[in-house]
Amino acid sequence: MNEIRDFYPLIVLGATFAGIGAAYANKADTLILEGTALAGYEFATAYRIGEGWNEPVLSEVGNNLKMEMRQRNILSDQGEVHIPALAPLMYNRIKEDQLHHLFMATIVSITWEKTRYCVLVHTTSGFMKFFSDQIMDTRTDALSKDFIKSKSINALLYSEEGIPTNRLVSQGTVEFMKGKQKGEIIVSLPIEADDDWSSARAKLHKFWMKRPMEWAAWKILAVGGAFDIRVDQGPVRVMDNWSLLPSAAYRNPLEALEAGLLYAEGKVRLQ
């Protein structure tokens, strides 16, 4: 990776798919700041399968990613996806395409200093300051609960038995969705916007103890490490040259990547 500077014309908050897409618009002059060690977490870590995978992708960046997903057996021609595999793929793309980034960088403050923004972050090496003409926030946690349309906790299931159905809605709200791999199912349990991890996991456990009989042989293999959150699409103005473009607003990672790229290229207007 190229050496990180203290000034970038654009600073992107969140290594989301929209944030990564924005960095592709001008790789040399964009810095991605991510508070966790995760890339594309709003889909990959949340176990959010998404939809609309067979819709046309317009950009070269998006088409290259879609092609690589198929080559690596992550995405099928029918639109089935092994969503957890997207995380290592995106780490590799960030590295190989030399996107300027800093993970484990907690945002402490963003202030306006004379003619530009000053972003103070705390990293494993201590405090660091970055300056920028423009801020683009793609994180969902930047939103208050009033902006959240829906929120779910998802879990990856596994069984050697046959899948009861490709897509089942149980008890009116809970979804069971088929992944790409054999015996791969993701269950999505709706929760409240203000539920934290403790209450969300408790609700998931309670539901699973009373799950429908056709899923009795299935086990929870892993619980998503990020919430599956749906919000309205941006971009929305926060302040002058500071916008909000939540990546989770889009139907799938490729659509989010395209949205970030188009906005950073100046092809999408603020709402």
Residue written as token pair 């990856």:
156
129 and 187 in a single domain? The answer is: no
The whole model's pTM is what?
Answer: 0.93
* pLDDT in the model for residue 31: 98
Q: Which residue in this structure is represented by tokens 């798919």? A: 17
Query: What is the tally of structural domains in the chain?
Result: 2
Q: What's 82's domain CATH number? A: 3.50.50.60
Does residue 40 come out as left (phi exceeding 0), alpha (psi in the -120 to 50 range) or beta? left
Residue with the two structure tokens 């990613």? 65
Alpha carbons 14 and 73: distance in angstroms, whole number: 27
> Each residue of 180-236: pLDDT tens digit?
888 789 999 999 999 999 999 999 999 999 988 888 889 999 999 999 999 988 888
Same domain assignment for residues 158 and 126: no
Between residues 96 and 216, the one the model is more confident about: 96
Q: Looking at the structure, do residues 238 and 159 belong to the same domain, yes or no?
A: no
In a domain, 2, yes or no: no
pLDDT of 260 above 80: yes
**Which residue range forms the structural domain that includes residue 172?**
145-230
**Cβ-contact 131, 118 below 8 angstroms:** yes
In a domain, 34, yes or no: yes
Task: Answer yes or no: do 131 and 165 share one domain.
Answer: no
157 and 200 assigned to the same domain: yes
Q: Please check whether residue 202 lies inside any domain of the structure.
A: yes
The answer to whether position 161 is within a domain reads yes
